[in-house]
Every structure is written in structure tokens, then in C-alpha cells.
Structure 1
Amino acid sequence: MSWQKEVDEINRRREIAKELGGAEAVKRQHDAGRLTVRERIDMLVDEGSFRELGALTGKATYDKDHNLVDVTPANAVIGRGTIDGRKVSIDGDDWTIRGGSSEATVSEKWIYAENYAEAMRMPLIRLVESAGGSVKILDQNAATKLPAYPTWNLARMMGTIPIVGLALGPCAGLGAIKAATAHYSVMVKGTSQVFAGGPPVVERGMGVKVDKEDLGGSKIHTRESGVMGNEARSEAEAFEMARRFLSYLPSSVYEMPPVIESDDPKERREEELIEIIPRDKRKVYKSRKILDMVFDRGSVFELTKGYGRSVVTCFARLGGRPVGVITTDPMQYGGGMTKASAAKMEAFIDLCDTFHLPIVHMVDQPGTIVGPEAERSGAVKGSVRVCMAIEQSQVPWCAIITRRCYGLAGSTFGRVQGINLHYAWPSGRWGSIPVDGGAEAAFKKELDALDPEARAARLAEIEGHFFHMESPFLTAEKFRIPDIIDPRDTRALLNDWLDDSWKLIADQLGPKGRTFRM
């Protein structure tokens, strides 16, 4: 006697689950320019690698003889797959059934996928498209519930496995939390929105009429609020971003970062580096171009590009080994540290420290930005928090001072305690305050007593005196900087440093004493 009848029942239910919310709901999803959750999974993972869990979960109806009539699948699709041959856990929302509502699903199902990722020490990818809570669930439960999911170990997970949140449609309430509470988050331009409450909630509660894009579109959250990280032009691009992000990280904090083969010579010298920093202090340059020349060709992958734009945070490789890279963009606030760029830098330091990526800081920092707006935003506190994050980090750190390093924000060039390894290019200048502006403030009383012509001459005389003292060679003579280097030797020097540093990471495997800070 066989169990074929029951196996047939399994297969029938699986086929029903594949239909999602039905043909009309799938058509509406496609008409809105969005893929279904199953199409997304197929596009994201290696072909044929997805192994679904919980396909039979849902609300079933039976006839009087207890035979299955139909099943409405749970609006979460979960399982395991591989990306470039490496296992990942997937938690996907199905918008075609009750808008992916977190209240209309079986929460144990998606929480299981997340807890499985942590237990099995593999990355977690969330495909988020959820309308959030719904009052309709009250009829079913006949009671309200306190907000929380006691079995969801979110804070601990953030300190143990890489988590990617992809906002692929409207993400409200819990959906917003799942999309944003991740080490790397992406929104799709024009088709995804993230908000605590959608337009109807805002209009009802605040009397403000606003559309989805103006309330929580990618322009808002990847440029202004910093709630989400990167913006993708399509779902396919979002998946590619997720794959590339994970390629730099270990599957969990218990493993070393992945190393790939590289045919880029460690000793490669780029002649352009010797002249890329302008002698004229008023001129800017393209800092990202320096990264492309120093690190393995094609390996620079920028995170959170649109937010806190005066700071640039990237993954890159040296000799095939992944590192975190920080620099500034002198075309944005002159590269000065804003509250937003400080928050961005702090989170990136935590990310690299959590997953054992050594950090290279290419320093051109004019200082914390000044002015009424900066003070109201709390830019000073932001700079202090970066200093604290650096001192609390444990991964190897190397700083290359390429141009400026001034003031409170300048003190974020590297870890002050311990070895504090840092080098300077001959173009480097530093101090508690730049001579430009600083001399005028220090000698204000004397200068204000002079007529304009005499004032300008005296100011030039004072600045000329102090400009000489800014020479990096005077600092090197006192061994207050370990070395001044030919910019063209930067790549070889960093590879040599990483040879020494890489073996230290093995002693740091495992979670940190503090979890990842958002």
C-alpha cells in the first residue's frame, strides 16, 4: 500500500501555492511594473537552487467530507537558495495576497526563515513588499495585540549574519522595518516606497494629503533621510547590487571574508597619482578616481552613495582581499563632515568591524562643517560619534592623508589608541584649524585696527608664516607621522600592510561585544 494519494495532495497544494493570489492579482502586479515574489526569487538566486519551505502554509477550505476545496497561500514565500554557489536564506513578501500585509500572513513562517539564517550562519535576503498591519485582522483574532515579535531575534542577527533588505514595492509598518533594518538596503526608483504609515494614514492622522513617492520614495530615503542605502533603476539591478554586496562579506561573523583571485599586480604604480591633488587649495579633484587607481581594478563598490555625500564609503579589494574604504568628496561641502555624513561613516565602520573587513581611510578632511544649519543638525555630535566608533572598532586600520586633516572631524582619520598606522602624501596638511581663516580669527583684533590695504598685507604676512609650519616634513621630523610617501607607492604599501593585517582577523572571528548600530 503506497502513500501516492498523499504525495499527489502535496503536489496539488504546491501548484496552488505557485499561483499566488491568482491570475488577476498577478496581472495587477505586472501592470504596476513589479515582479511577483516567485519571479524575484528566480531572478535573484542561482538557477534551480531554491528550496522552498512552508509552501503548504495557508488558509484552506474543505467540503463536508473533509476533502480540500481550495487554499489561500500565506503571503510569505521563504526558503534557501544559493548566490554564486553560497547558501542564503530568503524571506519574500507576496503582494498579490492581501498586499503582503504583515497582519494577514503567518508570522511564524517569515520569522522561521530569519531565524534559520542565523542558526545556520548564512546571509539573509528580504524581498520586501508589504502593506503592514491591517485592522481587518481584528475580526479574526477578536483582540488586539501588543506590537512585537518575541521570537524574532533581530538585534542579535544584525551582529552575526549579513542582512540585505530590498524594498521592491510599497513597504509600510513592519515592511518598512524589514527593509531598513539591514546592513545593506536598496530601493527601486519609481516602484518602491518606504514609510511608517502610508498616505491614507497620514491624511487621516495629520490632515496632510501626499502621494506615495513624496512621502517615502527613493529620492526621500536614499538622499535625504538615510533610511535606505542605494537606489536601483530596476528590480534586476537591485538583485545585482545585493549579489555584489554579499560577495565582499563572509557568510557570518564566524568566517573570514572571502578572497578571490586577482591578476592586478600588488606593486602597480599609477603615474597620475603624483599630480592628482591640485597645488591650488581652491581647486577640487575627483576623489573616486584615486580609489579606482589604488585598489584592484573594477573592485570598488560604493554604498549609500546618495546620502551624506561629503563622505564616500565603499568596499574594494587589495590583491583579491576585501577591505572597507572611506574617503571624502571635496565637491560636496568641500568634503566637510555633516551630521548625515557622520552617521553614514559610523554605520560603515560598524559594518566593517562586525564582518572583519580591514579599513583603509584615504583622508582629505577639512573639518566639521560650520554655520547655523550645521549647529542645529548636531554636526559636532555626529563627528564625536564617529571618533567613538573608530576607537571601539577592532579591525586593522590604515590611513593615508592625501590632502587635509583638520579639527574634530580630522581626528577621525584613524584609531588613536594602539598602533595608529597612518601615512601622508606630500600634499598632506593638518592641524587643529586651517591657516586659512584660522589666522584671521586669531589676529582679529590686530587686523581690525588696520585700513583695508594694510590689513590684507598683514594677513598675507601672518598666513605666510604659518603656512610654512604646515609642512608635513616638520611633523615627520618629530615622528608624529610614521612616514611621508610617494603617492604612486600607495597601492604597494597598502598591500604590504594587508599582508601583515590579514592574519590578525582570524583572532577576531565571532560576534562583537556590541551588536551592529543602525
Structure 2
Amino acid sequence: MTNDPEWKETLEDLANRRERAHGMGGAERLAKHHGKGKLDARARIARLLDPDTFQEFGTLVGGDIASDGLVAGAGRIDGTPVMVGAEDFTTLAGSIGPGGNAKRYRLAELALRNKIPLVMLLEGAGFRPSGEHYGRTPTDLIAQAKCSGKVPTVSAILGPSAGHGALVAPVCDFTIMSRQGAIFTAGPPVVKESTGEDISKEDLGGPGVALPSGVIHNYAEDDETVIDDIRRYLSYFPSSAWSYPPTRLADDTAEPRLTPEILDIVSRDNRQIYDMRAVLDEIFDRPDWFEVQPKFGRAIICALAHLGGYPVAVVANQPQVLAGSIDADAADKAAHFITVADSFHLPIVFLADNPGMLPGSHSERTGVLRSGARMFAAQTAATTLKLHVTLRKAFGFGSMVMSLLGFDDQVATFAYPGATMGAMGAAALSAATHAGEDYAEVLKRMELEASFRSAGHLGFDELISPEETRNALLVALQHGIFSRQAVAEPVSRTLIMP
């Protein structure tokens, strides 16, 4: 400490200002916040980051308004640098002022500049009513949008999130919500004033609304679990699109092994349902894989996993839901997931077992063909490594969106013996052509031979036993990884997404 009285006075003033900022909304508001079972903004950041790695900026922004309602800075997660912002609900309900808006822009700017992930922890009331001029207020979202596909972006909804602040979430690659979270264009008081509708924040945008609508990807019970899941999600990703995903050091769970259990999970009878999650348990490193958006578009499973220590993205049909038929929600979910995986060079493993796109008037009214086209465009435009297995069946457009398609630049394509492909299944085809019962039986026998006929003209690379699934995929992935002989760079996208 200096003996210079002027320096001493100046530094004491700095320390006092920092102390006021660190006090956030004050002891009373913090106690009320903690009483609801929530962590405060600074505690959330402390939970997210490795110990003693947080370097704050803009601490004194806002003057008497502590940090202007947004705690912002850089830190590390499992040693990897990240940018993080946390709205402070104890300070003017986490609302956005001019200084906070500038900090939000700076967070995204530094994330892209330093090529590191951006994490936003949200609980705020949107823009703050004020007579001050906010400048070009949407610039923070513009900066965040520029991060898309370049650095991983993640948000958490840990309380009510409204207006401009809420827009951060759908712009992110991945968003997770706690039990006390809610997200909406405008909160209940504004809705009441504007439309006369009297509604609670839970019914307006809580988990029961935001998860089925697809606005939010995942759910966890409390702040701690949400933040732990963010750490887990990011563990599969590189710091940016200028690097490849981190390979985990091999252990016993990453070794080659046979998967005979799949024979007991997947019936040879196409009409028998099973849980595809049990198949994932056998194929991928255990106990490891992380499902993304499990409550939306449930006919497709999207998951992050490791295969032999390599991070991969998994897109799998779920026979337990709609017999594996792909509806609009499932296709939309998969299209987004595929684009995120491709952006950050995660290999994609497709596990197909579906009777096609979901037919019917309701499905058509939801735009199933447009959504299917969106998924098809996403997977055909993907430049990352792609691997495919047909477990039992893949019909029509439902096979094409799952990368069962010639000349699609896959690393490997496999199928189980007896797997059936074609424009449609025997039952549907016989009904559509008014075929007699005898002809229907002929068609069924032809389906059983379909995999061998397809193998005869290299419709896929190899027929494999279910016991060989993990090892076949692992060896193909290891070979495909050798293509990474150039420096990673962001994916250039030129197609118009349907």
C-alpha cells in the first residue's frame, strides 16, 4: 500500500465503489431473492466458472445502480475461457439501462474477438423505462447474432425474462430453464393492460409453455442444476468454430467393445416398439450422453455423446413416439441441432428406424413437408463427418433426412440384416395399390430381402450385426477424423433454409 495520501484516498474511493456494486440490490432484496431458493447473479457466475477465474468488467457502470443490473466479465469453465453475463434481478428487476446495454454488446464483441463461448444468465424485466437516450438499442442482439456459428452461445432462464432481454434466449444455440423460469414478449401486467387477459407468469411463459413450444431446449429443477448442465453441454464443444472439439482421454468406457445387448433391445419385428435411448446407452461411452430438447419433437432424439472419447452429435428416431414417424416439431428440432453440430465440427451419428414422415391432415396443417425440407437441407449442407446406421427401417423422405442417401458424403453407412428401405412399407404399399392378401405377403418377403439386395449394389457400405454397432462406428469415426488435416474454420452456408 502506498504512503501517498492522494493515492490512498483514490484507491479507498475505488474500493468503496466496488463494494457498493458487489452489494447488488442490497441485503434486504438479496435475502428475499435467496429466500425463493435462487442464487444471486454473482453466485450464479461463481457456480458456473472455475474457482477464482472471474475477471469482471464494467463493475462501476450505472453509478448508484449497481453494475447497471448486469454483472459481466470473463472466466474459465474446465480451463476454457468464456464470456459470461448475469442479469441481477435484485437491482431494478434486472432491467436494461444504457450502461447494461453497452456491456451486453461488449460481452458478445469480446466472445467473437477472443473466439470463446458466450453464456448469458437471464432474469430481467427488459428495457428500463427512462428518459435517457439508449442509442441504437438492438446492437447487443446484432453482436450476439454475429457470434452465431462462430462461438457457442448458451443462455439460462432462471426467473422471469421479458422483452428485449428475453430475445437473447432464442438467438442462442442452447437455452435451459429452471423451475422458476418464465420467458415472454411482455409480462403479465403488460398483457393485462394490452389485451385484458389476466394470466400468471407461469401460464404465460413458464416451463409448461416454453418447453412444448420449443422456445426453450432443456429444463432443470433449480439454479445449481441448470448451471451444472451448462458446464456439461459446453464440455462437448470447442471454444469456437476455429478449432475442433476436445477429445477426451480414453478410459475403460471409451474402449472398443461388442454390443450384444442391442439384440435384446431391437426386435426383428418392425411392429415392436423399443426405447432408442437404450440403444444409445450401449453404443456410446457410458454413462455420458446428454439429450438436447427432450420434451419437444420427441419422435427424434438429439443428443451429445462421446464415441471412443470423441465428442459427437446423435440424431436418432424414437420408435416409442409415433412409431418413429417424423413430425414437424421433430424435424425442426433436428434441423437446428444438426446446424449447431456442423458449425462446431461435431461428427453426426444418424440412427434410423422410421416409417417415414408423419402422414395425416394434422401433420400437413403443421407444415411437415416444409419442416422435413428444413431438416433435409441442414443435413445435406452439413460439412462435418456423418455416419449412418439403419436399424430396422427407413422409408421415403424419412430415410433421406436421416442421411440414408447416396452421394451424401458420409464417412460410413451401415444397416442391420433385414433392415427395410424404399418409398414406403409393404403394408402401406399394398393398401395404396389395393393389392390382394397374397401379394401383400410377397411384398413383406421382399422387404426382408431388401437389405441384402441393397448390399448387392452398395446401397450402404456394409451390413453389420447389432453386436458390431459400436465398433463399426468407432473405427469409421477414427478413420474420418484423419480428414482434419487443415486448420478448422467456420462453416460457410449458402443455401436458403426452407
Tell me the SS of whatever aligns to 1:267.
coil
Give 2:429's aligned amino acid.
G
Matched to 1:40, the amino acid is R
Q: Which amino acid aligns with 2:235?
A: S
Matches within 5 A, 1:14-413: 14-60=18-64, 72-103=66-97, 105-134=99-128, 136-137=129-130, 139-141=131-133, 148-149=138-139, 152-189=142-179, 191-222=180-211, 224-263=212-251, 264=253, 266-413=255-402
Runs of 4+ in 1 over 4 A off after TM superposition: 144-147, 515-518
Report the CA distance between 1:234 and its aligned residue: 0.9
Residue 305 to residue 10, structure 1, CA distance change in 2 (3 Å): same
Q: What's 1:485 paired with?
A: 464
TM-score (structure 1 length as normaliser): 0.90
Contact map agreement 2:38 2:222 (CA 8 A) in 1: no
Aligned in 2, Cα 1:207/1:505: closer, same or farther, shift over 3 Å?
farther
In structure 2, what is the Cα distance between the partners aligned to 1:42 and 1:499? 37
Deviations 1:169-215 (A, max 9, x none): 111012211123211110001x1100011112222222221111111
Change (3 A) 1:36 1:265: closer
Contact 1:277–1:427 under 8 Å retained in 2: no
Amino acid at match of 1:167: I
- CA displacement, residues 484-510 of structure 1 (integer Å, 9 cap, x when unaligned): 111111111111111111132453711
Deviation at 1:335, TM superposition (A): 1.2
**CA distance, structure 1, for counterparts of residue 256 and residue 417 of structure 2:** 20
Render the CA deviation track for 1:211-243: whole Å, top value 9, x for unaligned. Answer: 111110012111x21011000011111011100
Equivalence for 1:464: 441
Q: Deviations over 1:43-70 (max 9, x none)?
A: 111111111111121234xxxxxxxxxx
1:275 & 1:41 partners in 2: Cα distance? 45
The question of whether the paired residues in 1 share the 8 Å contact of 2:61 and 2:99 is answered with: no
1:183 alignment partner AA = D
Could you tell me how far apart the structure 1 residues matched to 2:341 and 2:152 are? 11
What amino acid is the match of 1:164?
A: V
Larger radius of gyration: 1
| Cα deviation code 1:259-285 (max 9, x no counterpart) | 111223543012222232213332211
Q: How does 1:405-424 map to 2 (within 5 A)?
A: 405-414=394-403, 416-420=406-410, 421-424=412-415
Deviates more, 1:294-303 or 1:96-105: 96-105
| Cα distance, 1:59–1:485 mapped onto 2, change above 3 Å | same
For 2:378 and 2:308, the matched residues in 1 are separated by 27
TM-score by length of 2: 0.94
Give the aligned length: 488
In structure 2, distance between residues paired with 1:293 and 1:492: 11
Q: Within 2, Cα distance between the matches of 1:324 and 1:12?
A: 49
Question: SS at the partner of 1:309?
Answer: coil
8 Å contact from structure 1 (residues 384, 408) kept in 2:
no
Q: For each residue in 1:447-493, what CA deviation from the matched residue of structure 2 results, as whole angstroms up to 9, or x when unmatched?
A: 6xxxxxxxxxx32x121111122121122122222211111111111
SS at match of 2:120: strand
Quick one: distance in 2 between partners of 1:288 and 1:394? 26
CA 146–88 in structure 1, closer or farther in 2 if over 3 Å, else same: closer
Q: Which residue of 2 aligns with 1:450?
A: none
Match of 2:17 in 1: 13
Cα distance change, pair 261–146 in 1 and its aligned pair in 2 (3 A): closer
1:507 aligns with 2:497: no
CA distance in 2, matches of 1:88, 1:515: 29
- Extract unaligned runs of 5+ from structure 1: 61-70, 448-457
Which amino acid in structure 1 is aligned with residue 238 of structure 2? P
Partners in 2 of 1:12 and 1:150 — Cα distance?
30
What per-residue deviation string (whole Å, max 9, x for no partner) do you get for residues 28-85 of structure 1? Answer: 212333221011111111111111111121234xxxxxxxxxx644111011111111
Q: Report the alpha carbon displacement of residue 102 of structure 1 after superposing the two structures with TM.
A: 1.8
Distance 1:150 1:283 in 2: 51
Helix, strand or coil: the match of 1:74?
Answer: helix
Q: Distance in 2 between matches of 1:294 and 1:372?
A: 37
Instruction: Give, in angstroms, the shift of residue 151 of structure 1.
Output: 8.2
Secondary structure at the residue paired with 1:59?
Answer: coil
Do the aligned residues in 2 keep the contact of 1:335 with 1:364 (CA within 8 Å)? yes
For the residues of structure 1 that align with 2:387 and 2:378, how far apart are their CA atoms? 15
Question: Is the alpha carbon distance of 1:432 and 1:488 closer, same or farther for their aligned partners in structure 2, counting shifts above 3 Å?
Answer: same
CA distance in 2, matches of 1:99, 1:211: 17
Q: Deviations over 1:423-461 (max 9, x none)?
A: 101141111011112211112xxx6xxxxxxxxxx32x1
Which residue matches 2:421? Answer: 430
Query: Structure 2, unaligned stretches of length 5 or more?
Result: none
- Choose 7-16 or 258-267, whichever is displaced more: 258-267
Question: 1:351: Cα distance to partner?
Answer: 0.8
**Secondary structure at 2:286 match in 1:** coil
For residue 96 of structure 1, report the CA deviation from its aligned partner.
0.9
SS in 1 for 2:269: coil
Q: What does the per-residue CA deviation read over 1:102-139, in whole Å, with 9 as the maximum and x for residues that have no partner?
A: 246531112212211111111111011110124x31x3
- Counterpart CA distance in 2 for 1:317 and 1:410 is 24
Matches of 1:313 and 1:72, distance apart in 2: 40
